[in-house]
Structure 1
Amino acid sequence: MSQKFSSLYFFGRPFSPLYSGIMKIRESLYLRGIKRRYTFDVPVISVGNLTMGGTGKTPVVGMLASLLFKRGFKPAIISRGYGGGADSRVNVVSDGKETFLDAKAAGDEPCFLASSLPGVPVLTGIVRALPCRHAIEKLGCNVLILDDGFQHMSVRRDLDLVLFSAAKLAGNSRVFPGGDLREPVSALKRCHAFMITGITEVLQERAEKFAELLQRRFPGKPVFFTSYQAIGATSLKERQDQEISTLPSPLFGFCGIAQPELFKETLTKNGISPAGFMPLKDHQPFTPSLIKKIEHQAEQCNARGLITTEKDLVKLAPDSFQLPCFGLKMKVKAEPEFETFLKEILPDTLLN
């Protein structure tokens, strides 16, 4: 945890019980049927988290969509579209064949998912029931995946998957604004399974102990592990894939994700020792002045190119930089047991 957030959480700690109480009341209103919950005739999978910030939801959503699509299902991804300017009740980022909205309109994560998942529609909307209905009735989808859906209780789900980052776990275990949690730990009673993301050799033992704690506290809810694997890089200008070994060296790294230090570690683990690195805030927009600053710092480090995340790459124009720029392509690797678990949730009658 950064010194900045540590200080903010310290001063916010007295207000945590108030916020926690509000979230418990909100949960109760939904579970008692006082606040409306929408039910659909197709399976709904929610991928969310209890903590603030990055747990790897977007890569897991992409992994799920790809897995379901390859098995013959017709999945659609439904997102809030955070950071996007599109404000229609239903925003079709992609219908699975054509992408209609860029990152500025759709938000960086929906745009990234749309560009990396051919055949899978991606939709956004504040009232998520509306894009859910559109995906079913207009696009013929038979499985819905809610991106960041754990707190979005107005849509009933068949699988509530809660993610924890292996690097962060539950943070300081206090509810916002005194800590990292969006809701009290008791909210985890309503989920069906847990997933601990970003497993490495260094974090394996820590993650296993946390998994044991979850299973003791919430018996009957399985815990799955996933790791990230770099599978190449995509050039910004040509949008072509290439092997990591063919990239120019040295490279200057930058990214705007919740845990930028993890991206820097990933670069090093994959043989890329950046000449310099610039962490940005999550969902950082790339203004002309910021782009100029990034390239200037890269030149100061004598870098021959730039490297960032795929999520950041979709927000950049092909001619943003004079130096060549690349996005590191990552793949989520899940345990075989997770796919078996998923098969139990989804009926084969939905297959084409």
Structure 2
Amino acid sequence: MQILYNIVVVLLIIMLLPYFLVRLIKEKGFGERMKQSFGFLPKHALDKVAKKDCIWVHAASVGEIVATSPLIKEFRREFPHIPILISVVTCSGYTMANRIIKDADSIIYFPLDLPFLAANTVKKIRPRIFLPVETELWPNLLKAARRYNVAVMMVNGRISDKSVKRYQYMFSLLTDMIGTVNKFAMQSEIDASYIMRLGADPKMVAVTGNTKFDQTYTDVSDKEKMQLISEMGLDTAEGIIIAGSTHKGEEKYILDAFKQVRQIFPKIKMIIAPRKISRKEDVKMICTQSGFSVAFRTDLKEKCSYDHDIVILDTIGELGKIYSTGDVIYVGGSLIPHGGHNILEPAAHGKAIIVGKNMFNFKDTYMLFTKNNACITVENSAGLGNEIVNLFRHPQIRHDMEAASLKIINENKGASRRSALILREVLESLGENPKTLSVPSTEAVENFQTYLFELVHGRRKKNLTGHVIISILDVFSFIYEKLVNLKLWLYKRNLLQQEKIDCYVISIGNITVGGTGKTPTSQRLAREISSMGYKVAILNRGYRAKWKGDVGVVSDGKELLMTAAQAGDEAYLLAKNLPDVPVLIGPDRSLTGQYAIEHFGVEIAILDDGYQHWQLKRDLDILLVDSINVFGNGHVLPRGTLRESLAHLDRADICLLTKVDQAAPHSCEYIRETLAKNNDHALVVESIHNPKGFVEIGDWSTNIGCSGKKINEMAGCKIVAVSAIGNPASLEQTLQSIGTVIVESIRFPDHHDYTTSEIAAVMEQAQKRGAEALVITDKDAVKFPKEIINKENRIPIYIISIAIKFQKGADEFQTYLQEHLPPKNK
């Protein structure tokens, strides 16, 4: 049965490839989802949890993430020292998880349930326990859990009628999956009976209640509620109806009911939240055809208006808070035979709730609210209209329903706490002490990504498995390259539109994965152009920033407004090192650029890491090429480290060769020859990373302007080099060139977040080796634990200060800028 399942899954993935390709082109974030789904998980995410006996919680999409949020709070409270990993399936779930769950250590996309992917992911992470939320049972993942002795506990378990019938046809596969689970923590007695019908041992089944009763991320104050209403231009409405999580074919019923309501209450307005945001234009068309004026929530954020009847909610994860603004709530998926959606989010705000007759996916909750007169059921659009009219005509009926909803919520809280206590029992029954499960270590542990890196770069001998992997990677590289070429072609043919902002745009980027010196080059260029009298801002994507939104201001050119964790280390460093230059983060740099123009009067915008950011039209493309690593292994991702093929070098106006002083003989000539074959117009400039001095981390943290030690003062000093950067060999070579004695080099994965225990172990190792100091980069410094920085009588920790110094072609570069930048009187 397992073999048959695997064949079906593989065939299904092949059939869906065209659909995936379309989404890859059209949908932001889908590329990252696919990359991780095929097992290429980011090192920074893995490093926090891999092989540290983490708690792995899997929630498929937005609904499960809502249920997971209070669980994670309780797990963190119960197990403060154990890393917590969350995996999701959908892009909306990933966005929602990053937005509302703050206590998780890492958030990743769940691997496709293929045998080798599931096994490799479990082997790579080695969690102590895997917790699927609701009914996320995946045969290959559970098989891998059995293989690697990973415990499994279902949390907030829910089984619908359809699922019971569907699972029964899985025969031996179902027996294996059910037999893998150590504990079933189910939402209700009905769900418990269903899982036992599927074969679960009654001794392993517990009823905890629904964790969605515990969620608090949607809590809204009166002030926030009024602000939301104002932002949506609904201040003048005499009542607000919300239709949440609507599906195709359902809006027609809702709009017919709304017409009925408006005949009696013409000043009542409506908010429609389609389940899939991709349907927003279709929903708008249906509303317009029904005679209603419409505005999108995202447009109203930019410019508020009041001349609309309906607001279409086209944002991810906001519905839970928006429910607070409604007077009457209709929960979608219930007038059509979809099975309904969870009514607990509007109930948490104490709202009068209406649903259709098709609530079979949420029988237990639906019965609870219906029995307590907290929910009204309607058969059709006429019934929906009549009930809404009745609730507005008789406010006391509405208020009684609101009170009943809040009473149910308050009486049913505690499922998350009960789940956490059951989890502790499970872990203790396995013979583990949950308080001592995680043992940090500074030893490098080989994982599958390391193996892949060495394999594709020819550093590991190929056996049969290696040849198979390379062949598979070649196929995916071919597909990836064609997709990149197609996307670029669509932009060149204006089939995909580039945004234009009213300032001069300079892009700085590279064509390979890994450190080429983008951040210090952006700093140098910003200073250079600022000294010419222009107002400059840097637009960074905010890689690994905890802040989520459209426009984030890291620095306004006067003071830092975000921490390193909020902004991401690269953006924070740019802001810290450029006190007179605004630094902004956000995924859409046309938005951040326009914001910089309107709020800071910016004339020149620098896109940090922007060579592949084709959405924004630029005036100058500067491409960095690492003279040490050159063009990687010549292959595009995932077979190699090229982000796009070498033919795309032709877009560069200036090619900056970095670290030429550390390059192997003839490397620069080879780079110039390769550039000449693919680009006949670019100015070629050479640069070096010039060490300026060393600053003690304590001084650096509190004083931007301190000078520290001169370069020659560190000559002969015994040091331990510690780094988590793209090219640690370059740092080590620089340190050796200035006369330091490196007694040991400790390399962490790029963008690694250091823990106190890791650095304590590093300092202990440095003491054993007789080191006089640790030396790190400023990129590492922003992630160093404050406990270490503030510790008394510790070994000195110096940050090496690096500046970009232009060499060959420097005068031509200066002239180029003077000739191509816009006139100052523009």
User: Normalising by structure 1, what TM-score?
Assistant: 0.94
Seen in structure 2, the aligned counterparts of structure 1 residues 201 and 130 have a Cα distance that, compared at 3 Å, is: closer
- 2:803 is aligned with 1:331: yes
CA deviation after TM superposition for structure 1 residue 190, in Å: 2.3
CA deviation after TM superposition for structure 1 residue 27, in Å: 0.8
Q: Distance in 1 between matches of 2:766 and 2:825?
A: 50
- SS, match of residue 66 in structure 1: helix
Q: Distance in 1 between matches of 2:691 and 2:665?
A: 18
Between 1:70-79 and 1:2-11, the stretch displaced more is 2-11
- 2:583 is aligned with 1:130: no
Assess if the C-alpha contact under 8 Å between 1:253 and 1:264 holds in 2. yes
Bigger radius of gyration, 1 or 2?
2
CA deviation after TM superposition for structure 1 residue 201, in Å: 6.3
Query: What is aligned with 2:455?
Result: 7
Q: Which has the higher helix share?
A: 2
Query: What is aligned with 2:707?
Result: 241
Seen in structure 2, the aligned counterparts of structure 1 residues 201 and 98 have a Cα distance that, compared at 3 Å, is: closer
Seen in structure 2, the aligned counterparts of structure 1 residues 97 and 298 have a Cα distance that, compared at 3 Å, is: same
- 2:723 is aligned with 1:255: yes
Query: What is aligned with 1:292?
Result: 760
Unpaired segments ≥5 residues, structure 2: 1-449, 458-469, 701-705
Seen in structure 2, the aligned counterparts of structure 1 residues 106 and 154 have a Cα distance that, compared at 3 Å, is: same
Q: Distance in 2 between matches of 1:236 and 1:18?
A: 45
- 2:617 is aligned with 1:156: yes
The AA in structure 1 aligned to 2:660 is I
- SS, match of residue 111 in structure 1: helix
The AA in structure 2 aligned to 1:96 is G
Query: What is aligned with 1:345?
Result: 820
Question: What fraction of aligned residue pairs are identical, expressed as a percent?
Answer: 33
Moved over 4 A (4+): none
- SS, match of residue 266 in structure 1: helix
Assess if the C-alpha contact under 8 Å between 1:142 and 1:350 holds in 2. no
CA deviation after TM superposition for structure 1 residue 308, in Å: 0.5
Query: What is aligned with 1:214?
Result: 675
Between 1:33-42 and 1:154-163, the stretch displaced more is 33-42
Between 1:332-341 and 1:16-25, the stretch displaced more is 332-341
Seen in structure 2, the aligned counterparts of structure 1 residues 56 and 135 have a Cα distance that, compared at 3 Å, is: same
CA deviation after TM superposition for structure 1 residue 254, in Å: 0.5
The AA in structure 2 aligned to 1:5 is F
- SS, match of residue 640 in structure 2: coil
Which of 557, 566, 574 does residue 113 from structure 1 map onto? 574
The AA in structure 2 aligned to 1:6 is E
Q: How many residues align?
A: 350
Assess if the C-alpha contact under 8 Å between 2:756 and 2:785 holds in 1. no
1:22-53 alpha-carbon deviations (Å, 9 max, x no partner) = 11111122222222311112110000111111
Q: Distance in 1 between matches of 2:721 and 2:522?
A: 25
Assess if the C-alpha contact under 8 Å between 2:650 and 2:678 holds in 1. no
CA deviation after TM superposition for structure 1 residue 317, in Å: 4.8
CA deviation after TM superposition for structure 1 residue 97, in Å: 0.5
The AA in structure 1 aligned to 2:683 is P
The AA in structure 2 aligned to 1:349 is K
CA deviation after TM superposition for structure 1 residue 338, in Å: 1.3
CA deviation after TM superposition for structure 1 residue 204, in Å: 6.1
Assess if the C-alpha contact under 8 Å between 1:238 and 1:318 holds in 2. no
Q: Summarize the alignment of residues 258-273 of structure 1 with structure 2, pairs less than 5 Å apart.
A: 258-273=726-741
Which of 32, 35, 38 does residue 499 from structure 2 map onto? 38
Assess if the C-alpha contact under 8 Å between 1:237 and 1:319 holds in 2. no
Assess if the C-alpha contact under 8 Å between 1:215 and 1:223 holds in 2. no
- SS, match of residue 228 in structure 1: strand
Which of 10, 15, 23 does residue 484 from structure 2 map onto? 23
Q: Distance in 2 between matches of 1:301 and 1:80?
A: 40
Seen in structure 2, the aligned counterparts of structure 1 residues 124 and 350 have a Cα distance that, compared at 3 Å, is: farther
Query: What is aligned with 2:780?
Result: 312
Assess if the C-alpha contact under 8 Å between 1:103 and 1:111 holds in 2. yes
Assess if the C-alpha contact under 8 Å between 1:237 and 1:324 holds in 2. no
Q: Distance in 1 between matches of 2:786 and 2:566?
A: 17
Q: Distance in 1 between matches of 2:678 and 2:713?
A: 48
1:258-287 alpha-carbon deviations (Å, 9 max, x no partner) = 011111111001111222111111111112
Query: What is aligned with 1:194?
Result: 655
The AA in structure 2 aligned to 1:323 is I
Unpaired segments ≥5 residues, structure 1: none
Between 1:234-243 and 1:68-77, the stretch displaced more is 234-243
Q: Distance in 2 between matches of 1:234 and 1:129?
A: 36
Which of 125, 134, 139 does residue 600 from structure 2 map onto? 139
- SS, match of residue 622 in structure 2: strand
Q: Distance in 1 between matches of 2:677 and 2:768?
A: 52
The AA in structure 2 aligned to 1:348 is P
